[in-house]
Chains A and B, each alone.
Chain A
Amino acid sequence: GENVEQHPSTLSVQEGDSAVIKCTYSDSASNYFPWYKQELGKGPQLIIDIRSNVGEKKDQRIAVTLNKTAKHFSLHITETQPEDSAVYFCAARSYSGGYQKVTFGIGTKLQVIP
């Protein structure tokens, strides 16, 4: 099955700096890569996603890049703000046992220091 590795596990940045979280996946057939933000006491929230036929996608201060050859994708947050502090999960959707299945990375705890 699919294996998603995510790093770093924790990340501290100064407010206004950029943050980058990287993930690799193992199944070359994976075709959809969402990113989720989970704040304390809440469920994960989809913040951006990218499909395998696209190399980069941007939404205001958030961007995701995908390198299919290397099987890695990254989340970039620019001009970080304290409210960006949360746990971020990358995920990959692959085909397993007749069904599409989403596999999550281990998560990155981002702390933005004011």
Chain B
Amino acid sequence: DTEVTQTPKHLVMGMTNKKSLKCEQHMGHRAMYWYKQKAKKPPELMFVYSYEKLSINESVPSRFSPECPNSSLLNLHLHALQPEDSALYLCASSQDKSGGGGYTFGSGTRLTVV
């Protein structure tokens, strides 16, 4: 298995809703990442997990809450989002936090906040 699987593919949520994005990989990668990508922009790093521990939080607002239940799963819990949070949310993994060998990205969750 050489894929990163993200669910759901599309999500529409109100500003008072609570929702979660899910990411799964079975490549034995020990680093997992959340990126946010706005239209016609490069991916922006949000969080890095290394060996299931949060390594980097790029000053992301607390309305985004990551969780790594085990080495194969990564969640992003969403609460009280704003319309400007609408974007493509990408999960990625790599062998380790050095990013050696490059990242494997999922197809993303297209999030719309109304």
- Chain A interface residues toward B at CB < 8 A: 32, 34, 36, 41-46, 49, 89, 93, 97, 99-102, 104-107
Contacts and interface: CB of A to CB of B under 8 A. Distances in A.
B103 A107 contact: no
Contact of A34 (B4, B45, B102): B102
Interface residues of B, number: 24
A99 B107 contact: no
Would you list the 8 A-B pairs with minimal beta carbon distance, nearest first?
A: A43-B105, A104-B42, A46-B102, A100-B98, A34-B102, A43-B107, A44-B105, A43-B108
Contacts of B100: 32
A104 B99 contact: no
A100 B99 contact: yes
B57 to A, nearest CB: 11
